[in-house]
């Protein structure tokens, strides 16, 4: 007859063994192929998705020139915008002009356009005036706020005859006049020369009239009269 204390010790040992085996089986799965083996069973860890933050395409122009009375277009390109919004802010008075495609100023000359198949947000200023010149910020509603600055210049093209206003030439010699056109966002398509408020005709019966134009940042037109 086994003493009661010995039975208790054996029962505790059995419980401990059962507990140990139970914990082990929680991590391993038994397979029977003629003999018992233990194969590890793993549970994959859930992957945490990473979303890249929104950022600006820094290749977009930071300086824009517009003619007085014409439209000005300031653009920024935002990558990975996600659920964030884009706003255009006038820097000089920290005035929010637009958020998304909605205008938040009483000056209805300002509006933002955006096409769903592009990443560009363009601030359109109608009938640009000299007072519109300055710095504008394209902002992303992130924390902290990210911004991309664009500087607008509003200009009036000028045409100046070099050496003027009075020029003196010898009678019978060739007249060579040079006109420089400055502050034009792009070279002018046409240049007209006037004499006493009348357009000089290159097809005049007088003949001897020719014009040579060199286009560039400063467009130069040469009038030759023989």
What is the residue-averaged pLDDT of the chain?
81
Instruction: Specify the CATH number for 55-155; select among 1.20.1090.10, 3.40.50.10800, 2.60.40.10, 3.40.50.300.
Output: 2.60.40.10
Confidence of residue 101 (pLDDT cuts 50, 70, 90): very high
86, 78 in Cβ contact below 8 A?
yes
Concatenate the DSSP letters of all residues of 138-151 into one string: EEE--SSPEEEEEE
pLDDT at 16 over 70: no
Interior CA angle at 149 toward 128 and 219, to 5°?
Answer: 50
Q: Where are the domains of the chain?
A: 4-39, 55-155, 158-225
Confidence of residue 15 (pLDDT cuts 50, 70, 90): very low
pLDDT in tens, 41-57: 444 444 455 678 999 99
Quote the CA–CA distance of 88 and 152 in Å, as a whole number.
Answer: 13
pLDDT in tens, 139-181: 999 999 999 999 999 999 899 999 877 888 888 888 899 999 9
Quote the CA–CA distance of 113 and 98 in Å, as a whole number.
Answer: 10
114-to-96, 101, 174 alpha-carbon distances in Å:
17, 7, 56
Quote the CA–CA distance of 180 and 178 in Å, as a whole number.
Answer: 7
Concatenate the DSSP letters of all residues of 76-125 into one string: EEEES-TT--EEEEETTTTEEEEETTEE-SS-TTEEEE--TTS-EEEEEE
Does residue 207 or residue 145 have the better pLDDT?
145
Q: What is the mean pLDDT of residues 186-204?
A: 85
- pTM to 2 decimal places: 0.62
Q: What is the mean pLDDT of residues 83-87?
A: 96
């Amino acid at each position: 007859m086994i003493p009661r204390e010995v039975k208790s010790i054996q029962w505790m040992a059995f419980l401990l063994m059962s507990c140990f085996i139970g914990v082990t089986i929680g991590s391993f799965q038994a397979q029977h192929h003629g003999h018992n083996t233990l194969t590890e069973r793993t549970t994959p860890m859930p992957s945490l998705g990473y979303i890249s933050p929104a950022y600006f395409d820094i290749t977009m122009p930071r300086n824009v020139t517009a003619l007085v009375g014409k439209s000005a277009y300031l653009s920024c390109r935002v990558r990975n915008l996600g659920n964030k919004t884009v706003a255009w802010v006038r820097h000089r008075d920290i005035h929010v002009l637009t958020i998304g495609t909605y205008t938040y100023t009483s000056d209805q000359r300002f509006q933002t356009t955006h096409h769903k198949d592009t990443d560009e947000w363009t601030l359109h200023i109608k009938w640009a005036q000299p007072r519109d010149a300055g710095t504008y910020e394209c902002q992303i509603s992130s924390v902290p706020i990210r911004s991309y600055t664009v500087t607008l210049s509003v200009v009036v093209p000028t045409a100046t005859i070099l050496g003027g206003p009075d020029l003196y030439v010898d009678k019978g010699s060739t007249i060579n006049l040079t006109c420089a056109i400055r502050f034009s966002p792009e070279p002018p398509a046409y240049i007209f020369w006037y004499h006493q408020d009348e357009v000089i005709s290159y097809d005049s019966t007088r003949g001897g009239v020719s014009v040579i134009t060199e286009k560039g940042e400063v467009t130069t037109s040469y009038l030759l009269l023989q």
